Amino acid sequence: MLFGNVPHKRQVLFSIALFFIAAFVLTVSDYLTARKTIIKESGEYAGKIANYLSGMLPIRSLPDTGDFLPRESLPAYGEKIQNVIFSFHLTNIKVYSLDGKILFSLDSEMIGKTAKNHQALDRALEGVESSHVATSSYYQQVYGRGLNHPLLETYIPIHERTTGKIIGAFEIYQDYRPMRSHVRKETLRSSIAHNILLVVFVLLFFGYGRTTSRTIENERIKMINDLEDRIEERTSELTVSKKKIDDLLERTGRMYRDLKIADEYQKNFIGLVSHELKTPLTVIKGYLALLEDGVLKPGHPDTMAALETSLDEVGNLESIVNNIIELSQLDQNDQQVFREEIDVKVLLDDAVSLVGKEIRNQGVEVLINLPPGAMVIHSDRMKVLQVLNQLVSNAVKFSPDAGRITITAVPGESGLLFSISDDGVGIPESQLKDIFNRFYQVDITTTRNYEGTGLGLAIVRKIAELMGGRVWVDSREGVGSTFFFEVPEMK
């Protein structure tokens, strides 16, 4: 294997990768350093040429045009500039006026044009010398024409001899190709030296690694074995502790949920039941006060009506107390289910007659639909009647005056299926899942016009489940509701 004698193969691969990255970074750094140096030296060379030109040309501002070279003398000065270009092995020299207009160039088509978007020229006209390598795309952007090869451009401000004021700028072109070749040679020379140092460093590093790797490996194996023993010991301890903690958390969670439910029930009980108890007590107290003050006379029709109302309120109080006791017994599983034969028609007639007064007061029409022939089921008659009475009572309560309630009973999969439908206010879909919870009242803006503690449907569900049945509802808000009660046949 390639790294058979080296224990830490990942470290070897990482070191090799690091070596190549370092070599690349050093090469790029050497290239940039060499390029920067050659551009700086060439710029200084161009600066000396500019000083020579300044001494050779009549550098003074002309008041009529702002130029500093008389146009009639351009041919003579142009010949001198050409001699300088050829003598110093330059590519071109451009002379700019203060407004960026080209006064001289070997390319006669450029004379008289103005450079656009020329940042280096703008800096030179502000007194800042600069050098950069011009590519074909850059030249196209500034002058509207391309280049055959890259050039090194140096921009040097021109000062008037007497005042020192900037009146123009030189742009000195040098062929960049020889400089680029020099940069590459310098980069290659520096890279070879740096890479040799890197190779020596890597060899020394791996030489030291081979002499110490076996000792390190033995220590590592020993540490791993000791750590595995400790982990195994602690794992067995933690397993026992975790089981105890899980059991404790589970018991605590159950207790917390039970306490939270109990607290919620207590709050709802105090809020709703106190309201429902206070209302009838207030009515009874008021009528008793009228009797005591002699406002209501014995035997008077108003007195009889007040007594009848008081009796109704006492009945409401009794119903509330009975519901609370009933739910408490169901919670404690303190009720038994008795099997007896039930005549379904008689059962439904009894359920309707129990709320006959409310039906007559609201003028509600009640229809009972049964299949032809006798219908019998074996179950606990009192509990089935209690459920049906509660569902019919709710249907009457939430039905409009002169509304209609339809009660049906049909054979089900394991017994009978009762349904009680009304054309009342209905229940919002978002609240259907909660209506069988104790103390729950459908949206307050809808149901506060109706009496109730929110215990009736909770009792219905408890009784249905106690008998092995179930209860559910289908409702549309503003259309009405249908409650279903499935009663299994008791064996």
Confirm if 77 and 83 have CB atoms less than 8 A apart.
no
Q: How many CB atoms neighbour CB 31 within 10 A?
A: 17
Confirm if 330 and 466 have CB atoms less than 8 A apart.
yes
pLDDT value of residue 3: 43
pLDDT value of residue 470: 93
One DSSP character per residue, 375-432 reads -EEEE-HHHHHHHHHHHHHHHHHTSPTT-EEEEEEEE-SSEEEEEEEE-SS---GGGG
Nearest to 152 by CA among 136, 123, 131: 131
Nearest to 96 by CA among 64, 118, 63: 118
pLDDT value of residue 442: 63
pLDDT value of residue 443: 52
Distance, in Å, from the CA atom of 419 to the CA atom of 427, rounded to the nearest integer, reads 16
β-bridge mates for residue 340, sequence order: 379
Tokens of 402: 């002169």
Distance, in Å, from the CA atom of 472 to the CA atom of 391, rounded to the nearest integer, reads 11
One DSSP character per residue, 432-466 reads GGGTTSTT--S-HHHHTTS---S-HHHHHHHHHHH
* Per-residue model confidence as pLDDT tens digits over 158-173: 888 777 888 888 888 8
Tell me 104's DSSP state. Answer: E
Which three-class secondary structure state does DSSP give residue 373?
A: coil
State the Cα angle at 50 between 44 and 55, rounded to 5°.
Answer: 135
Q: How many CB atoms neighbour CB 373 within 10 A?
A: 5
β-bridge mates for residue 378, sequence order: 341
pLDDT value of residue 445: 47
Tokens of 482: 């249908």
β-bridge mates for residue 484, sequence order: 419, 472
Tokens of 3: 């790294």
Which three-class secondary structure state does DSSP give residue 14?
A: helix
First-last CA distance in the chain: 81
* Per-residue model confidence as pLDDT tens digits over 36-68: 888 888 878 888 887 877 777 766 555 555 556
pLDDT value of residue 272: 59
Residues of the chain with pLDDT under 50: 1-7, 444-448
Confirm if 432 and 391 have CB atoms less than 8 A apart.
no
Domains of the chain with bracketed CATH:
9-182 (3.30.450.20), 336-488 (3.30.565.10)
